[in-house]
Structure 1
Amino acid sequence: MPNHTLVNNIDHKDTKIITERSAAYGDDIWFTQTFPAEYRSVQAYYPIFFTKDENTGRFFSVALFGFQQNENLFIKDNRWSVPYIPLTHARTPFLIGEQALMEDGIEKHQRVLFLDEDHPRVNTEQGEPLFLEFGANAPYLESMADMMEVLHHGIEDHNAFIDMLVELELLESFTLDVELNDRSQHQMLGFYTINEDKLAALSSEVIAKLHQNGHLQPIYMTLASQSNVTRLIQLKNAQLGL
C-alpha cells in the first residue's frame, strides 16, 4: 500500500530519489495516462489510444509502451530510450494534493506535493536529493513541483476533451492484431480510437467549435500517433533478436 506523506524539509531532509529506469523501480508498465497538453511530445514516440477506467467506466487516453502486461519496450540498460516520458509516469513517486489553510479568517486550499514513502525509488543513500543542506528546495524538487502543476492542469483539460469525444460519439472500440517476426501473435483488446468517418462527417460549425476550444489539434495528433505502432513492433522484434 502507498504511504503518502507531505513533502517537507524536516522529515525529508535526507531523502533522495533514484532516477534510473528499470522494472525494479516500477517502469515495467505497458501504458500510462496522457492528456492533450502533452500530446505533441507524446505522439513523437508513442501511439495514443483510449481505454476505460474499470471502476468508473470513464474514458481516458493512454500512451502505449508495449503489447502486454509488464512490458515496456522503451526500457533498456537502466534508462528510458527516448527523450520524453509521459508526465503521469515521470512524476513517480510524487503526487499532488490539497491542503486547507486559514488566510484572513477565510479557509483556502492550496496544492501541495506528497511523496510515496514506500516507493522503491525513495531512499537516503543514492539519487537526487529533495533538499539542500540548509533546507531549501533542491533543483530536482523544484522541477518535480513544476511537473505536478502542469500535470494537474493537464488532467483537468483532459476531462473536457474526453467529454467532447463522448458527446460527439467519436470513440470506437478496436482490436489490434500484431504478428512478430517469430510468427508469434499478440491481440490487444479493450482499447478505443477515434472514428475517422464520424470525424469527417462533422459539420463545419462543429469543426470550428472544436478548433476554438483547442480540441481539434489533439484529435489529429492522436490519429497521427498511431503510426508509432510500427515503432513498437520494431522494438519488440529487436528485443527478440529478429
Structure 2
Amino acid sequence: MPQAVLLNNIDHHDLRVITARGARYGDDTMLAPTFFREFRDLQAYYPIVFQKTAQGGFQPMALLGLRADENLFLDKRFLDGRNQIQRWDAHYLPIAVERLPFLIGIADDEPMLHIDLDHPRVARGAAAEGEPLFLEHGGTTAFLQRMASMLRALHDGLRDNAGFIAALLRHRLLEPFTLDIRLDDRSELRLTGFHTIYEQRLRELDGTALHELSQAGYLEAAYMAMASMSHLRDLIERMNRRRAADR
C-alpha cells in the first residue's frame, strides 16, 4: 500500500530519490497514463492507445509492452548485477513514469506535492544513494523543483484530458482494435482491450468539426496518436529480441 504524505523540509529533510531504472523500482509496467499535450514527445517512441476507465470514459496510455507487467523498453542487460539497474531504451520517459515516487494530493483544497514513503525509489540519510530533495538549510534542490514542475504538468494534463476525450467521443473518433501477433519463435499472443483513433472517420469530418478540433489542440494530438501506432511493429521486434536473448 502506498504511504503518501505531504512533502515538507522538516520531516523529510534527509530523503533521497533513486533515479536509476529497473524492474525493482516499479518500471516493469505495460502502460503509462498520459495526456494529449504529451503526445508530441511520446509519439516518437511509443504507441498511444486509449483504455476504458471504470467510470465509462477513456484514458490515453503510452504502450510500453505487449503483456501485463512487461516493459519492453527496459534493457535486460544489467549495468549493475547486484542492484539490477537497467537502461531505459528510449530518449524520452513518460511523465507518469519519471515523476515517481511523487504524486499530487489535495491539502486544504489545494493540489500539493506528496511523496510515497513506501516506494522503492525512496531512500533516507546523507549516505543513501539517490537525489536529495532539500538543501542543507531547507531550500529545495533543482531536482525537486523539476519534479514539482513535472507533477503540475501531469496534474493539469490529466484534468484537461476530459475535454479531449469528450471531443473524440462526440465525433466518434475512437474505435476498438485487436492485434494478433505471431513471434519469431512461433509463439502467439493477442493485444486487445484498447481503442485507437478511427482514421476513416477523422478523414470524413467536415470543415467545422476540423476547425473546432484544431482550435482546441485536439486535431494535432489525434494525428500524433494515430501516427504513433506504427511503433507497434517496434514493440513486436523488441519482444522478438528479448525472446531470442533469453533462449
TM over 0.5, yes or no?
yes
The one-letter code sitting in structure 1 at the alignment partner of 2:193 is: G
Mapping of residues 40-189 of structure 1, within 5 Å: 40-53=40-53, 55-76=54-75, 77=78, 78-100=86-108, 109-124=109-124, 125-189=128-192
**SS of structure 1 residue aligned to 2:244:** coil
- Cα separation, 1, equivalents of 2:157 and 2:65: 24
CA distance, structure 2, for counterparts of residue 112 and residue 195 of structure 1: 37
Structure 1: how far apart are the matches of 2:42 and 2:206?
Answer: 29
TM-superposed deviation, 1:57: 2.1
Tell me, in whole angstroms, the C-alpha distance in 2 between the residues paired with 1:140 and 1:206. Answer: 42
Offset at 1:111?
A: 2.8
Give the letter aligned to residue 184 of structure 1: S
Q: Distance in 2 between matches of 1:97 and 1:72?
A: 27
For residues 131 and 79 of structure 1, what CA distance do their matches in structure 2 show? 27
Aligned to 1:103: none
**Aligned partner letter, 1:119:** H
Displacement, 1:99? 2.5
Mapped partners of 2:87, 2:138: distance in 1? 30
Q: Could you tell me which runs of 5 or more consecutive residues in structure 1 were left unpaired when the two chains were aligned.
A: 101-108
Give the 3-state SS of the residue equivalent to 1:240 in structure 2: helix
Moved over 4 A (4+): none
Deviations 1:138-188 (A, max 9, x none): 111111001011112211221110111111111111101111111111101
TM-score, normalising length: structure 2: 0.91
Aligned to 2:12: 12
Q: Give me the CA root mean square deviation.
A: 1.2
Distance 1:186 1:73 in 2: 15
- 3-state DSSP class of the match of 1:114? strand
What's 2:215 paired with? Answer: 212
Amino acid at match of 2:91: P
Spell out, residue by residue over 1:70-126, the C-alpha distance to the aligned partner (whole angstroms, 9 max, x if none).
1101112322111111111211111112322xxxxxxxx543100001111111121
Report the secondary structure of 1:169's partner residue. Answer: coil
Q: 1:240 aligns with which of 216, 224, 243?
A: 243
Q: Partners in 1 of 2:68 and 2:199 — Cα distance?
A: 28
What does residue 28 of structure 1 align with? 28
C-alpha distance in 1, partners of 2:50/2:208?
26
Report the alpha carbon displacement of residue 226 of structure 1 after superposing the two structures with TM.
0.4
Aligned equivalents of 1:161, 1:13: Cα separation in 2: 39
The answer for the alignment partner of 1:105 in structure 2 is none
Q: Equivalents in 1 of 2:196, 2:60: separation in Å?
A: 9
How many Å separate the matches in 1 of 2:72 and 2:212? 38
Q: TM-score, normalised by structure 1?
A: 0.93
- Where structure 2 has 5 or more consecutive residues not aligned to the other structure, the ranges are 79-85
Q: Distance in 1 between matches of 2:66 and 2:111?
A: 36
1:197 aligns with 2:221: no
1: distance between equivalents of 2:122 and 2:87? 17
Q: Match of 1:192, as an amino acid? A: H
Percent identical? 45
- Give secondary structure in 1 for the equivalent of 2:232: helix
